Amino acid sequence: MPVSEEQATWFADAFTKLVDNVDLAIVGKKEVIRLVVTALLSEGHVLLEDFPGTGKTVLAKSIANTIDGTNSRIQFTPDLLPSDVTGVTIYDQGKGVFEFHKGPIFASVVLADEINRASPKTQSALLEVMEEGVVTVDGVGHSVGAPFMVIATQNPVEQAGTYSLPEAQLDRFLIKTSLGYPDDATAVSLLMESSNRARASLVSPIIASGSVASMAQLTSEVFVDPAVMQYLQQIVTGTRSHKDVVLGVSMRGALALARAAKTWALSRGRGYVTPDDVRELAVPVLAHRIIVDPESEFAGVSAHDIVNRILVDVEPPAYRAA
C-alpha cells in the first residue's frame, strides 16, 4: 500500500524532531545526525571513522536517549573475547540448569568503540547479530529485539596493534561517515559550556522504541519507480567494472542503498524515491564497500572519488511519483 501524503508528512516531522533532539548534544553536525538516524530507521548500522574526542560516544548515547532505548559501550581491545560481547551460558548449581547471561550487545544502541583493535575472532562475534538481530550461543538463538543499531568507531591514525575490518564486516555497515571537528563558532559555544561534561544528558526521550519500529516499517512501503531502481543498479554495476576497483559493491550493498534511499525520501516528506535520493546517499552507503586497486590507491585514487566519478558517468533517469 503506497505511503499517503499524511503519513509522509508525519514521518518527515518525526524525523526532523529526532535530528533536532540529538543536535542538542552534537551541535553543528545535523547532516551526520541525519545519516545516523537514516541508518536507524533503515534497520542498519553505522561505522564512524574519526579522531578521538569528536563526540562519537555522545552521539550513540544521544540516539539511545532520544528513542527511550538502552545503550551500551564495548571498548574493543586485543584481549576482548567473543563472549565478552555476546554473553555466556553459565551452569546454575542451585537450579540445576544452564542460564544465558546477556552480554552488552543486547541494547537498543551499541557503541563498539575502536572496533578494529579487537582480534578477528572477536570481530566475527558481531557478524550474525548485525545481519539477523540474533545471537547464537551454545546452539540457542537469542533475539536482541528492535530497534537495534551498532555504532562502531575506528581511529584513522595509530594503526599499530589494529586489525583491519574484513570485507564481510564492512559490508554489514549500512553507512560509513565521520563527525569531524566543529567549526570555530560551534567550538567556542562548546567551550563556553565546558563545565557540562555529560552532554548526552541534555537529550530527553521524544519517541518510544516501539514507534521507531513503526517508522522503520513505513519506509518499506515507499514507492520506487523501476527506472530509479535501474539507475541504482547501474551505479552498483559501475563499481564492479571500474578500472581502479578490485572488488565492487555486493548485492547486500545495493539492497542497503535501496533501503536507505526510501528512508531518505520519506524524511523529506515524499512517498517516492527520486534519483537525487540515490545520489545523495551513494558515497556514504557504497564507498566503504569498495576495495581500490593498490596501485591506484598509491596514486591517490580513493573509493569516494570512484563513486563520485560513477555518479557523473551514469545518467539519471527522468522519474515520476507514485
The total number of structural domains that make up the chain: 2
CATH code of the domain in which 41 resides: 3.40.50.300
Q: Say if 204 falls within a structural domain.
A: no
Nine-digit cell string for 284:
556514504
Q: Which helix (H) or strand (E) holds 113?
A: strand 109-113
pLDDT tens per residue across all 322 residues of the chain: 688 889 999 999 999 999 998 988 887 788 999 999 999 999 999 998 877 777 788 888 888 888 888 888 899 999 999 999 999 999 888 888 888 999 999 998 898 988 988 888 898 889 999 999 999 988 889 999 888 999 998 877 666 667 788 888 889 999 999 887 777 877 787 777 766 666 666 778 888 888 888 899 999 999 999 999 999 999 999 999 999 999 999 999 999 999 999 999 999 999 999 999 999 999 999 999 999 999 998 998 999 999 999 999 999 987 555 4
Q: Is residue 212 part of a domain?
A: no
Length of the chain: 322
Q: Note whether residue 92 is domain-resident.
A: yes
User: C-alpha dihedral over 4, 261, 217, 109, to 10 degrees?
Assistant: -140
Give domain status of residue 150, yes or no.
yes
**227/286 same-domain check:** yes
Judge contact between 144 and 131, C-beta under 8 A. Answer: no
Considering the domain architecture, whether residues 146 and 278 belong to the same structural domain is answered as no
- The H or E element spanning position 61 is helix 56-66
Residue among 252, 253, 258, 250 nearest 219 (CA): 258
Same domain, 46 and 167: yes
Give the CATH number, domain containing residue 240. 1.10.8.80
- Assess whether 125 and 4 both reside in one domain: yes
Could you say which of 152, 178, 193 is where a domain stops?
Answer: 193
Same domain, 226 and 120: no
Q: Does residue 157 share a domain with residue 47?
A: yes
State the residue range of the domain holding 12: 1-193
Considering the domain architecture, whether residues 175 and 244 belong to the same structural domain is answered as no
Same domain? For 120 and 45 the reply is yes
Is residue 263 domain-resident? yes
Helix (H) or strand (E) holding 213: helix 209-219
CB burial of 250-269 (b: ≥16 within 10 Å; e: otherwise) equals beebbebbbbbbbbbbbbeb
Other Cβ atoms within 10 Å of 316 Cβ, number: 16
Cβ(216)–Cβ(41) below 8 Å = yes
Domain match, 163 and 280 both:
no
Angle at 113 between CA 111 and CA 114, to 5 degrees: 150
